[in-house]
Amino acid sequence: MKLIKKIAAIMFAFMMVFSLSTNAKAVETTGQITINNAINGQTYKVYRILDLDGYEADTPSTDSDTGIYSYKPNGNWVNFLKDKTAKGGFDYIEIDENDYARWKGDDNDSRRAEFAKRALAWAKEHANDADTSTKIDSVKSLPASGNTVEFTGLDLGYYLVDSSVGALCSLTTTNPTISVNEKNEKPVLEKRVNTFAGMYNYCSNNDLVKYTTANYGDIVHFTITIKNLKGAENLVLKDTMDEGLDLYRYNNNFTVSMNLVNKDKVDEGIDPNDTTNIIRMTENNDYTLTTTKVENKDSFNISFKEEGYKKIESNPNYILRISYSAVVNKNANINNTNTAELTYGDNNTTQDQAYVGSLNIPVLKYTEHGGTVTNLPDAQFGLYKEQTCKNVLKFTKDTTTNSYNYDTKGDVTTTLTSDENGKIQINGLAKGTYYLKEIKAPKEYNLLKNPIKVTIEPVVDASKKITSEKITVEKNGTTDEVNEVKVLNNTGKLLPSTGGMGTTLIYLIGGALVLGSGIVLANKKRAKAK
């Protein structure tokens, strides 16, 4: 009997242990957040807005989680949650008299996204507060070195994930592992010269080119295109020009044209009256614009405002186009770089360039005699765009460099004169064909009958940066590529005598015979008269 009781006791104890082991659930104390499709180089941060204070299980014998979770504000986030302004979270989460937090109002994707955006803005605004009672620190911060970022060892609670747009997730005892899919892409920035008739954002993509050439004084239009803007935050655009370009100001006022454009329409261009495919963004309402000049280089900054972000978020199928104009000045050279740089997220940057070149025509006036080359000063030329040479181009002479700069204003001249070295340096021209006509030859030299046809064009590298210029000259039906236009002049004197002394003697004897014949004829007439 005693043996039977012992066996029964052992079996009962075993059944109790088995029953407990099958009904009890493990309680997690830490959690993990994994970000998939992470943008390489982007820094991700997680913030614990609420602490998980307690969990009361409902029916722990079931597989479903129907328990009740209790949350309380984490640290200084209470300031955000109690803020009733448009910056705070009061409209989304309420704090009761016992300091417990609960969601209020509709629980949908739109309101959660709004709350996340406000929370992110609050975190960034208070990240560097000197006052420890208001400062907000991220729980963890990790840079993406691939497509996945994992935050491990996190205390359970309600988290905000800064993945550009922001995401909200709860780490609980029954759900301690969360995956967040990065829905955004790295912004793509393109800087182009706009060859359309004006700085219009509804032009075709074919009107946007990487480089162009221009005369001094010409107005050049630029367009910046930004793609992949979904979820973008902290956008700041900076545009900087070389010394050869100045921001164009109408009535001393610099402006930009900014529009959201349907990305499915930009290849063909958009009707400017089609407001369904082009959405205007306005200064001060959607963005702020400031200009600066440092080391003789013009630049401007654009910072986006809340209304601008709302328009961007509301139109995910649109790209952003920003257009403005610049003036080519006399400091322009063969290549003038215009750089656009976009800062986004946590000080991530991307940039692109467009190029404007002003080309030159170097001229050498010379003569050659007996194998000796002599450079000729004081030869005068005019430069024309048409073969008939009716409309002469205008220039300003730079006496410091002995060069002529293309100019349509100011104290201009139409006469290009070779210096003491026979040189004329013509600067500031757009690519094309020109005609160089001599209008006055040096003293005692012949004037050239026909103009010289000169063609100049840029040479670019793989990135479309202008590296040099190509000059071709056409004379007497022959075309040659040259480094400078060489203009040969022949003397305007009588042709020199040829032959030896014998020829001279013949001339002298002939003259003497003619003279003698005249004397004989005169004497005969006198004799007859007598």
Q: What is the pTM of this model?
A: 0.72
Cα–Cα distance, 62 to 70 (Å, whole number): 21
Q: What sign results for the dihedral spanned by CA atoms 271, 276, 278, 279?
A: positive
Q: What are phi and psi of 242, to 5 degrees?
A: -70, 170
Which residues touch 41 (CB under 8 Å, ≥6 apart)?
Answer: 143, 144, 348
Instruction: Enter the tokens of residue 86.
Output: 């448009």
DSSP H helices, 391-431, are none
Output the average pLDDT for the chain: 84
Average pLDDT over residues 105-126: 86
Contact yes or no for 161/142 (Cβ under 8 A): no
* pLDDT the model gives residue 355: 98
Instruction: Enter the tokens of residue 93.
Output: 């989460």
Contact yes or no for 231/240 (Cβ under 8 A): no
Contact yes or no for 437/389 (Cβ under 8 A): yes
Cα–Cα distance, 358 to 458 (Å, whole number): 9
* pLDDT the model gives residue 230: 75
* pLDDT the model gives residue 523: 62
Q: Identify which has the larger pLDDT, 201 or 507.
A: 201
Cα–Cα distance, 375 to 169 (Å, whole number): 82
Place of tokens 């800064």: 162
Average pLDDT over residues 326-352: 91
3-class state of residue 86 by DSSP? coil
* Radius of gyration over every alpha carbon of the chain, rounded to an integer in angstroms: 42
Q: DSSP secondary structure string, 186-209? A: --EEEEEEE-SSSS-TTS-GGGEE
Q: What are phi and psi of 472, to 5 degrees?
A: -125, 140
Question: To the nearest 10°, the Cα dihedral for 105, 110, 113, 117?
Answer: -90
Q: Which residues lie across from 219 on neighbouring strands?
A: 327
Average pLDDT over residues 239-247: 97
| Total H helices, total E strands in the chain | 5, 35
Is residue 115 scored above 70 in pLDDT? yes
Which residues touch 111 (CB under 8 Å, ≥6 apart)?
Answer: 92, 105
Contact yes or no for 194/150 (Cβ under 8 A): no
* pLDDT the model gives residue 197: 74
Instruction: Enter the tokens of residue 475.
Output: 């004379």
Say if residue 404 is exposed, middle or buried (CB neighbours under 10 Å; 0-12, 13-18, 19+). Answer: buried
In terms of average pLDDT, the best of 165-179, 273-287, 379-393, 482-496 is: 379-393
Cα–Cα distance, 225 to 197 (Å, whole number): 18
Give the pLDDT confidence of 267-277 residue by residue, as tens digits: 888 887 887 89
Q: What sign results for the dihedral spanned by CA atoms 326, 210, 334, 450?
A: negative
Cα–Cα distance, 514 to 498 (Å, whole number): 23
Which residues touch 492 (CB under 8 Å, ≥6 apart)?
Answer: 441, 444, 445, 446
Give the pLDDT confidence of 341-375 residue by residue, as tens digits: 999 876 778 999 999 999 999 999 999 988 899 99
3-class state of residue 151 by DSSP? strand
In terms of average pLDDT, the best of 197-201, 446-450, 505-509 is: 446-450
Cα–Cα distance, 82 to 493 (Å, whole number): 100
Provide the pLDDT confidence category of residue 60 given band limits of 50, 70 and 90.
very low
Instruction: Enter the tokens of residue 418.
Output: 């070779």
Best CA proximity match to 470, nearest among 378, 357, 373: 357
In terms of average pLDDT, the best of 140-149, 227-236, 303-312 is: 303-312
Cα–Cα distance, 371 to 260 (Å, whole number): 68
Contact yes or no for 429/212 (Cβ under 8 A): no
Contact yes or no for 229/291 (Cβ under 8 A): no
Average pLDDT over residues 76-94: 94
Provide the pLDDT confidence category of residue 266 given band limits of 50, 70 and 90.
confident
CA distances (Å), 148 to each of 151, 158, 232, in order? 10, 21, 19
Average pLDDT over residues 14-37: 56
Best CA proximity match to 238, nearest among 195, 168, 189, 310: 189
Q: Which residues lie across from 359 on neighbouring strands?
A: 429
Contact yes or no for 336/356 (Cβ under 8 A): yes
Report the Cα–Cα distance between both ends of the chain, in Å, rounded: 201
Give the pLDDT confidence of 452-491 residue by residue, as tens digits: 999 999 999 999 999 999 999 998 788 999 999 999 988 7
Cα–Cα distance, 218 to 348 (Å, whole number): 35
Give the pLDDT confidence of 404-455 residue by residue, as tens digits: 999 988 789 999 999 999 999 999 999 999 999 999 999 889 999 899 999 9
Q: What are phi and psi of 343, to 5 degrees?
A: -100, 135
